[in-house]
Structure 1
Amino acid sequence: MISPSSSAAELIAHLMTLRSEESISGMARFGIATETALGISNPDLQKIARIVKRNHGRALELWQSGIREGRLLALYTAEPNELTAEIARAWACDFNSWEIVDCAADLYVEARIETLIPEFASDEREFVRRTAFAMIAGAAVHLKNEPDETFLGTLALIATHAEDPRNFVRKAVTWALRNIGKRSLHCHTAALELAKKLSASDDQTARRIGKDAVRELTSERVLARLERKSAVR
């Protein structure tokens, strides 16, 4: 039985018993790196995380396992207030899949190490750069008390990297722009302005990002929600 007192080695041994070749094949079809995967779903890993609770030292050991599920469990059970920029950088060097990036981005935002966003955005590695924009996208939703100006300040990064054609970067840049635009009416105005500018770009990737963002930010559903949100304030 696993418990909050279970060691990293015991948790890895437990994960090994849950290996599923069928699930591994299915994950590959969704662009998940499966070289070290055991085929355990994220909801099942989250259930395990709730049982074993947070333990930062153990999370560091789980990350060192190199196993997909071990690393996801590390991200689910690390202590945000103990996560340093140095650890975040070191883990980013190992990123090899969008799902690891997006899970890590949530933790990094919770740990309030957004200072790494410009650094990650300037990194040429695809999954490290994706981390920057996944963090922006997540922070725009979850950091409800953060001033809008914080997110407006990231629009320059979005404009700078909107021409990166790599799939996982492009999707994250679009995600970030859309989430900023949906945060408030104030953010919406600036984000939509940038989206329209990108949609008229000569660059195919930037144009695609802009058009996708314009489509969502001008939808009746988004505009109605922003109006309701503004009225509540």
Structure 2
Amino acid sequence: MHSDDTAPGVNSVLERLLSAKDPLLAQALTRLGWPPSAVLGVDSATVEQLAREIGRNHVLARALWSEGFRETRLLAIRLAQPAEADAAMLDDWVHQVQHNELAAYLTEHLLVKASAARSRAPSWSTAQQPLVRAIGYELLTRLNLDDEELSPDARFPGYFTLSGLSDQNVGAPANAWVRGWRSVIRYLGRRNRRAGQKAVRRAHEALLMWEQDKVERAQAGRRRPGG
């Protein structure tokens, strides 16, 4: 494994990737939904081999992700140190995902290993963006399967208190994000008995919160001039 001072720089890595690009693969990837400007046309096996040669390097990973290409981001995911990936970085990466392939790769190779991702699971799984929401659901599923021995609160810190959602939905109607939250905890509850019991209680609380929001918005509408 290379240390930070001996690992290749971004330009060197880009040269390696460009030397391995395949125009036919690039065309195939664009037909599968990748933006043409985000594809070099390098197969995943080559990316994996390069990741093994370089080893974990968090600084290089962040720089490669910023390049924006499919291949540099796949490589960045493999080079990133899960222990050094904070919630802000993970949130940025998740919201910058451009394709299902990258979403699945990010979840499997980094998010399930990064403890900071647990606190972000609630907001990701109720996000408006389909890819972000898909990442949130997949992460919930993986954590339920891998961490069966943990209590729901330990597995998803803040998840059952709504605190993981309210700060991320400032300005949004409460019914919009509470509705999403309820659907997620039902999904989560079907996969774990202890989580399911807690989800039922919190779903009732969410319904009360939703009804209260409807009343408050109706009252606010009546107070408007001309209302």
Normalised to the residue count of structure 1, the TM-score between the two structures is 0.61
Match of 2:111 in 1: 108
- Aligned partners of 1:36 and 1:115: how far apart in 2? 30
Residues 49, 76 of structure 1: 8 Å contact kept: yes
Identity rate of aligned residues, in percent? Answer: 21
In the alignment, is the contact (CA less than 8 A) between 2:30 and 2:39 conserved in 1?
no
| 1:122 matched to 2:147 | no
Partner Cα separation in structure 1 for residue 51 and residue 30 of structure 2: 23
Q: Which residue of 1 aligns with 2:53?
A: 51
What is the rounded CA distance, in whole Å, between the counterparts of 1:135 and 1:34 in structure 2?
28
Rounded to whole Å, the distance in 1 between the matches of 2:99 and 2:141 is: 17
Instruction: Show structure 1 runs of 4+ deviating over 6 A.
Output: none
Deviations 1:156-187 (A, max 9, x none): 99x9549x9xxxxxxxx8xx959x64xx7x47
Q: Could you tell me how far apart the structure 1 residues matched to 2:28 and 2:34 are?
A: 9
Unpaired runs of at least 5, structure 2: 166-177, 201-227
Q: 2: CA distance between counterparts of 1:126 and 1:82? A: 27
Specify the alignment match of 2:9 in structure 1.
7
| 1:77 to partner: Cα distance | 0.7
Distance across 2 between alignment mates of 1:146 and 1:108: 17
Cα distance, 1:43 vs structure 2: 2.7
Which residue does the alignment assign to 2:210?
none
1:1-233 aligned at under 5 Å gives the runs 5-106=7-108, 107-113=110-116, 114-143=118-147, 145-147=149-151, 150=155, 160-161=179-180, 181=191, 186=193
Question: CA offsets per residue over residues 87-114 of structure 1, 9 Å max, x none?
Answer: 1122223211111112222312211121
Instruction: Report the alpha carbon displacement of residue 27 of structure 1 after superposing the two structures with TM.
Output: 2.1
Indicate conservation of the 8 Å contact 2:34/2:99, yes or no.
yes
Unaligned regions of 5+ residues in structure 1, if any?
Answer: 165-172, 195-233
- Residues 45 and 144 (structure 1), Cα distance of their counterparts in 2 relative to 1, 3 Å cut: farther
For residues 26 and 81 of structure 1, do their structure 2 counterparts lie closer, same or farther at Cα, with a shift above 3 Å needed?
Answer: same
Q: What is the total number of aligned residue pairs between the two structures?
A: 174
